[in-house]
A and B are shown apart, each in its own frame.
Chain A
Amino acid sequence: MTQYLDFEKPLAEIEGKAEELRALARRNEEMDVDDEAKALDAKAAKMLQDLYRGLTPWRKCQVARHPDRPHCRDYIEALFNEYTPLAGDRNFADDHAVMGGLARFNDRPVMVIGHEKGNDTKSRIERNFGMARPEGYRKAVRLMDMAHRFGLPVITLVDTPGAYPGKGAEERGQSEAIARATGMCLKIGVPLVSVVIGEGGSGGAVAFATANRVAMLEHSIYSVISPEGCASILWKDAEKMREAAEALRLTAQDLKKLGVIDRIIPEPTGGAHRDRKKTISAVGAAIDGMLQDLKGLKPRQLITDRRQKFLDMGQKGLAA
């Protein structure tokens, strides 16, 4: 069953009605509701298209966080072969909010790393809702370093509300772990490409997305702070998240204009969760494209390319 977002309520009503009609017809064979149901379907399809054509930044946040949106695990299962998870930071623990390991992408061995949010209550708790602790970033550092030594391209999938704000996480050096992961991203002499598939939450996202090429799904977001957090600090009212989402310019479209990301991956009408298969294969094509872009670059060139990209960032403004 589709989980509707609050702004999709009118759509839910129409689709519900069509469903009811069909259920009625199934019980009552004389009834012919085909035309009526089809008309409702068409109306719903039109409404979906209209709703998603001009999503406001806040609505995009909601879509980016949709529970049915494909997550890191789904992409790895569908796009990679021989995925061999590698665990642990060799220090303290294995962080389940970060998954990663060796795999083949189009037959080529790579290292894939990403945040995993989980898809039901149990797995969400196990994955800590995709909020990594220092161990997660240190695992990523270990895997990136290994990729560097064996010349494997690194693919990161970003989907996190942010790094976990917990007592233990702080004690074990959350900030240091993030800083080292960002540093490792900048140091590796292999192609590093990144896709923001849902939420790119602040430092927790930067630690994975300091890449040669960064793509974002059409309705994903990438921001220095959550709109709720920003609203409560600057507006002193967490309910002003719509205004904050607007002001922060956190959509893929804004980030492309600012030159922070390189490409936008279109989503099916109604968001990634309405056609997961199509979304996943679009992401696969984008990863392939980005790796092609970097083909033939030597380790040193890859490092320079990455550094220069970030040093140059911010020279381009955003027209209002």
Chain B
Amino acid sequence: MNWITNYVRPRINSIFSRRETPENLWQKCDECGTMLFHRELADNLNVCTACGHHMAITPRARFAALFDGGIFTEVKVPEPKADPLQFRDQKKYPERMKAAQKSTGEKEAMLVATGEIGRTPIVAAAQDFSFMGGSMGMYVGNAIIAAAQEAVKLKRPLILFSAAGGARMQEGILSLMQMPRTTVAVEMVKEAGLPYIVVLTHPTTGGVTASYAMLGDVQIAEPNALICFAGPRVIEQTIREKLPEGFQRAEYLLDHGMLDRVTKRTQMRDELISITRMLLGLSPAVKGELPAPPPAEPQAPEAPAAETQPARPKA
């Protein structure tokens, strides 16, 4: 050991270790400001243990908590043509994509999976607001179509968790065309006589609300989620008056007849199990946390792209 290792290494180490600790262990609630221990928060599905505020949750963490034993199989989504318009604003679209992929570790803004909830086989899709605002472009459209096709093929209900700022402007008119495309997908599920349940999470706005997110047989929202077509700022600019308290929030929509229910995230799973089983005419389910379903009966190997994912640590 010489003076360099003695002197330099500890300093380098201290720089790295300093960065590790404080950020990850505690998270501040955006609403009440309480410092929450990360593990406790994750166990409570990112719902503040102090005030009940629902913070964002990644699709993977949501699925890990939703599916029996945290086991789900990802459904492959057909890859659309990348950057079809060669769009650039202050940044190039592919650069924005790369940045989003890096920060989320996901390929795009929607995750589709199959699995069981309370031993009820379902197909689920969840939108990722942290990926470019969850915006709906061709990939998200393809994901919803893939989810619908999977549901029809397997004769399973489709449960969709929405979260998006709206259409992805960087795909221009092609993002707008996802409104009719996803509506076709919803129609396919409905025509097959299968339940389509939408869980609206904070925020769900714009073209997403005006297509698949408002067409569920049952419409459930998480508490205080912002759900609208035009955002409150746009409306205030148009009508030049202050909007009422709670305007466009889940409870307000429930009052105005736009939703069936507002349900806490921690109770969502049981409720979804209950509703899907009743709609499918099945017997009541065993509730509570269930272990992973037994491995599927031996059959033809799944499509090579689908892979079984064990539950990951909750993000």
- Check if A and B associate: yes
Binding site for B on A (CB under 8 A): 163-167, 169-176, 178-180, 182-183, 185-187, 202-203, 206-207, 210, 222-225, 230, 233-235, 243-244, 247-250, 254-255, 258, 260, 307, 310-311, 313-315, 317-318, 320
Cβ of B177: which chain A residues have Cβ within 8 Å of it?
206, 260, 310, 313-314
**Contact A179 B248, beta carbon cutoff 8 Å:** no
List 9 A-B pairs, minimum CB-CB distance, nearest first.
Answer: A165-B230, A175-B209, A234-B89, A224-B176, A175-B229, A178-B210, A175-B210, A174-B229, A210-B180
Known A166-B230, A224-B173, A247-B87; further 19 A-B contacts with Cβ < 8 A: A163-B230, A167-B235, A167-B241, A173-B256, A174-B210, A175-B213, A176-B258, A179-B215, A180-B214, A183-B187, A203-B210, A223-B172, A223-B176, A224-B171, A224-B207, A243-B89, A247-B172, A314-B84, A314-B141
Q: Which of A167, A179, A248, A260 contacts B239 (CB 8 A)?
A: A167
Binding site for A on B (CB under 8 A): 80-81, 84-90, 138, 141, 145, 167, 169, 171-177, 179-181, 183-184, 186-187, 206-207, 209-215, 228-230, 234-235, 238-239, 241, 243, 247-248, 256-258
Cβ of A206: which chain B residues have Cβ within 8 Å of it?
176-177, 179-180, 207, 210
Residue among B177, B186, B248, B258 having the largest count of chain A Cβ atoms under 10 Å: B177
CB distance from B7 to the nearest CB of A (A): 47
Main secondary structure of the interface of A (DSSP, over half): helix
Q: Which of A169, A203, A224 contacts B169 (CB 8 A)?
A: A224
Instruction: Evaluate whether A247 and B229 lie within 8 angstroms (CB atoms) in the complex, with A167-B247, A260-B177 already known.
Output: no
Instruction: Evaluate whether A222 and B173 lie within 8 angstroms (CB atoms) in the complex, with A175-B209, A206-B180, A320-B86 already known.
Output: yes
Instruction: Evaluate whether A183 and B183 lie within 8 angstroms (CB atoms) in the complex, with A247-B88, A260-B177 already known.
Output: yes
Cβ of B141: which chain A residues have Cβ within 8 Å of it?
314
Cβ of B187: which chain A residues have Cβ within 8 Å of it?
183, 186-187, 307
**Contact B258 A250, beta carbon cutoff 8 Å:** no
Instruction: Evaluate whether A249 and B172 lie within 8 angstroms (CB atoms) in the complex, with A186-B180, A203-B179, A311-B145 already known.
Output: yes
Residue among A222, A255, A317 having the largest count of chain B Cβ atoms under 10 Å: A317
- Provide 30 A-B residue pairs closer than 8 Å at the C-beta atoms, listed in order of the A residue: A164-B238, A167-B239, A167-B243, A170-B228, A173-B257, A174-B229, A175-B214, A178-B179, A178-B229, A179-B209, A179-B213, A182-B183, A182-B210, A186-B180, A206-B176, A210-B180, A210-B183, A224-B172, A247-B89, A248-B85, A248-B87, A248-B172, A250-B173, A254-B173, A258-B174, A260-B177, A307-B187, A314-B80, A314-B138, A314-B177
Instruction: Evaluate whether A317 and B230 lie within 8 angstroms (CB atoms) in the complex, with A173-B258, A244-B89, A260-B174 already known.
Output: no
Q: Which of B145, B173, B183, B243 contacts A258 (CB 8 A)?
A: B173
**Contact B169 A248, beta carbon cutoff 8 Å:** yes
Cβ of A186: which chain B residues have Cβ within 8 Å of it?
180, 183-184, 187
